[in-house]
Amino acid sequence: MQKFVLLLSTFLLFTACKNKSESPQSLEKNASEKKMIEVNYAQGFEIEDQGNLKIITLKNPWPGTDKTFKYALIEKNTTLQNPEDYDAVVEIPVKRIVVTSTTHIPSLEMLNELITLVGFPNLDYISSEKTREKISKGTIKELGKNEDINTEILIDLNPDAVIGFAVDGNNSAFATLQKTGIPVLYNSDWTETSPLGKAEWIKFFGLLFNKQEEADSIFKNIETEYLSAKKIAFEAKERPTVISGAMYKDVWYMPQGNSWGAQFIADANGDYLWKDSEGTGSLSLNLESVLEKGTDAAFWIGPGQFTSLPELKNSSAAYAQFKAYKIGNVYSNSLKKGATGGVIYYELAPNRPDLVLKDLIKILHPELLPEYKLFFFNKLK
């Protein structure tokens, strides 16, 4: 997520659908026929199908909480008998939407629903050329900063739903929206640690647009490509060692062993030297410990925001002591940017883990994908 800038927030609301051409009895009948929609990798949400009522249960809105949210998605001309039981009620398909993370943009594009996007905070972070074209035409409004959304503009846009995210459950902007009756739904794709788990959140968006089958099909293609690439990776005869991250104010940050980034390296058949560390976030290490363990690593993946080998060395002469630096095996995912500086990897990678994995296989085992060209990563020069 664009450089820890995802400081968002909380609350939720419930609103009752006002269309009453369908009787309460019909919804009760559907309730007796409820079934769970398949979600195989994502841990953060479940979907219950009751026909013209879909229920999303959000289980992990932000780290360290056991709070859950329930969202009711109802089709037009139906009446929900118990709206007070839900944190938000949305009539689908959604025609006007506001999203708040760049990771939401690819799902809208893949579902051909970009036309519904009417507002976004921090427009400069968006990298997609398709979305930037709409921004240039003025059809997507700037909503300020994530931590301080312009609620006046947002309310004037009158979206059918706002898709937010939270880091701790305290967001005054969302509370303001609640009072106006605009539904706010949390999307916690960023808390997933499985690459395919993040990508499976397209099913969340598929429900909002009544495109469940399309979302399932898109995800199955990504899943197939990912698992096929992983199988190819384990045909390699060697498993090269890998380090990651870089220093910020004398602290070296790198992925913990159960994190998204570490999982990619493992699935690419790489030996991440900190794979046994516990946790899903970032390790905070001193330079000495990284040098002791990682000096001889064959590859260095993701060296922060550094764009060249000389820049690395100028920042700290210690970087030049690593074997990966000496032999030129340092690869960055932050060089490819959109027209206004947004990093493409942060926006698209969670939705396309198959491309990330193929990149890493190409880096670690180039002989296995001879025709493949790197999509997200660049070799530092």
Which class would CATH give 234-379? alpha beta
| Burial (0-12, 13-18, 19+ Cβ within 10 Å), 124 | middle
Tokens of 234: 């384990």
What pLDDT is recorded for position 205? 98
Burial class (CB in 10 A: 0-12, 13-18, 19+), 44: buried
> Fold match between 2-223 and 234-379?
yes
Bridge partners (DSSP) listed for residue 254: 283
Neighbouring-strand partners of residue 379: 331
2-223 maps to which CATH number? 3.40.50.1980
Establish how many alpha carbons lie within 13 A of residue 2's alpha carbon, considering only the half-sphere containing its beta carbon.
27
Summary mean pLDDT of the chain = 90
pTM: 0.89
Q: Where are the beta strands (DSSP E) in 100-244?
A: 117-120, 141-142, 144-145, 148-149, 161-164, 184-186, 241-244
pLDDT of res. 51: 87
Q: Cis link prior to 93 (omega < 30° from 0)? A: yes
Q: What is the 3-state secondary structure (H, E, C) of 121-141?
A: CCHHHCCCHHHHHHHHCCCCE
pLDDT in tens, 131-141: 999 999 999 99
For the chain, the domains span 2-223, 234-379
Q: Which residue type sits at 79?
A: T
Quote the pLDDT of residue 32. Answer: 53
What is the per-residue pLDDT across 323-364, written as a single tens digit (0 to 9) for each? Answer: 999 999 999 999 999 999 999 999 999 999 999 999 999 999
